[in-house]
Amino acid sequence: MSDQPTVDGGLDEPEDLEPAQGTLALAAPEDRHTRADWERAAAGVLRKARRLGEDEPDDLVWERLAGDSLDGLVVTPLGTPDLLDDLVTRGRPTGAGGWDVRTRPADNEQALADLDTGATSLWVEASADLPVLLDGVLLDLAPVVLEGATPEAARELAGLLGDTDPADGTNLGADAAGDHVVEVARIAQDAGVLAAVVDGTTAHDRGASDVQELGHALATAAAYLRTLVAAGFSVEEAAGLVEFRFAATAAQFPTIAKLRAARRLWARMLELSGAGEVPMRIHAVTSRPMMSRYDPWVNMLRTTVAAFAAGVGGADSVTVLPFDSPLGEPDAFGRRIARNTSHLLLSESHLGRVADPAGGSYAVEKLTDDLAVAAWEELGLVEAEGHDAFWGRVADTVAARDEAVATRRLPITGLTEFPHLDEVLPERPGDGDDVRRWGAAFEELRDDPALTPVFLATMGPVAAHTARAGFAANLLAAGGVAVVPAGPTDGVESVLAAYDGQPVVCLAGTDPAYDEWGADLVTALRDAGARHVVVAGKADVGADDRCFAGVDALAFLRRTREELA
């Protein structure tokens, strides 16, 4: 499967641009602006932020504002028509109407409570006591999706269905790459339900990028189709029995594009297999690795953005994981907030009223195409080199992501940014999700907070030192290190008056203050007992270490904690 995905269709330019009555007209000619106008305005902002030099050309804003993914794809800062030159799309969602709100109950009480308060389908472990867990569930109304079904579990669910006309989307949940998929597929065909799941989240949870998750899922789907066709199923029959599961993250545009690209890739795979068009069923699950165990309430924001992106990307079913999942078994409040996230997006924001709301967006269409082409290439690599090589590439992605988190280019609010050292975490039974979260290294530091604080040698009045003092305090807190600030000072002696013998000191002041009395302060603090001196910024004042924007925060925190110990 080395062919790149092909596309059909296109966009026609309207012959008459006059607005219909009651619609908004285009801007008057004198109010319209060129690309150069935008570049000039954006460059002005970047120069104020010192992200663009006074002598650098305005058109560098495209490079400075572009986002880059772990796959090496560029996310443009502004969608423009030229991005769609020679590009058309395929595999969009087929209609509006919202999505299925899928929850993951642990027992019958949770299952019934979920269905009574907004859930529309259930995702349950096949190893559970299904007659007990599903007691009272109307299986003709609420689809049930098993996780990791064996033939025995599949027969048990099929038996519970009996003569009931099963709800659309019911899935016996065999692993599409598992040993039992053919047997479960025959049971499903007899019961009139789906048989298997191609689960991309297994790769995502181990650190795969978006392209790698798509490529892994496609390789699994290809193997699934080959297995069922060899067992006597037609390609259309096999394709109609499977559902795909993908992770949705708080990176909204890549998530939207990933789901749209998945449909395009599936359509291409079926086309090359000689099959007719079989719609792709997508179950989106909010990412587990993106969540944080510290300041877990921020997880509500992450999962809301992820659910929004999943809905806009055209997911048929969405599972929002409770915000307290990383802490253990979610409580009733966490589960309710998770359910209501989808309902707020559907009922308050009306996201289900429009089919493919991102369709036609220059930036999203381009990113969709880039992801589809790259994922098709990844599929070819998996087919040619095997899964060991694939997991080697995932390991490289994990290392790249770890570096981005360590340098805070990939910030995690509440953990690597704006941490709250004195927070009291809610208690939950159990150990939480069994995945390595993106912020795991910082969580390990927070799990074992430093016993000794850092003395923050603030130089000058509050207005002068507050920016760097705040930066340093925030950075140290991300590693479980508290600070003791000197407060407003007017020279070396006033800083020393506040110093209480802490072994590590961090200077925080302006560049002029560093030039004027920074070196003298370092010498005086060492004489007073400071063993390790850090400066916030890049000034050369004779300090032992420096901290500044872009520094490897994780390495800096580990060095600092060693000195504190």
Kindly report, residue by residue over 345-402, the tens digit of the pLDDT: 999 998 888 888 888 888 999 999 999 999 999 999 999 999 999 999 999 999 999 9
In the chain, what percentage of residues exceed pLDDT 90? 80
- Per the prediction, the chain carries an average pLDDT of 91
- Identify which has the larger pLDDT, 412 or 76: 412
Task: Say if residues 533 and 522 touch (Cβ distance below 8 Å).
Answer: yes
Q: d(Cα 550, Cα 148) in Å, to the nearest integer?
A: 43
> According to CATH, where is 3.20.20.240 located in the chain?
100-388
Q: How far apart are CA 215 and CA 422, in angstroms?
A: 43
Q: Flag the least confident range among 111-115, 160-164, 438-442, 504-508.
A: 160-164
Please report, for residues 233, 314, 398, 403, 446, the alpha-carbon distance to residue 69 in angstroms, rounded to integers and kept in the order given: 39, 22, 13, 13, 28
Cα 230 to Cα 112: distance, rounded to the nearest angstrom: 40
**Homologous superfamily of 100-388 in CATH?**
Methylmalonyl-CoA mutase (3.20.20.240)
Is residue 181 within 8 Å of residue 175, measured between CB atoms?
Answer: yes
Report the C-alpha gap between 56 and 88 in whole angstroms. Answer: 35
Under 8 Å between Cβ of 247 and 307:
no
Taking only the tens place, the pLDDT of each residue in 536-550 is: 999 999 999 999 999
The CATH number for 448-564, chosen from 1.10.1040.10, 3.30.450.40, 3.30.428.10, 3.40.50.280, is 3.40.50.280
**H-helix segments, 172-329:** 181-191, 201-204, 210-230, 235-239, 252-272, 298-313
Residue 247: beta bridge partners?
Answer: 285
pTM: 0.90
Instruction: Give the up-direction half-sphere exposure of residue 159: CA atoms within 13 A in the CB hemisphere.
Output: 8
Task: Kindly report, as residue ranges, where domains of CATH 3.40.50.280 are found in the chain.
Answer: 448-564
pLDDT, mean of residues 330-352: 94
Coil, strand or helix at 122 = strand
Residue 544 amino acid letter: D
User: Cα–Cα–Cα angle for 104, 303, 214, nearest 5°?
Assistant: 80
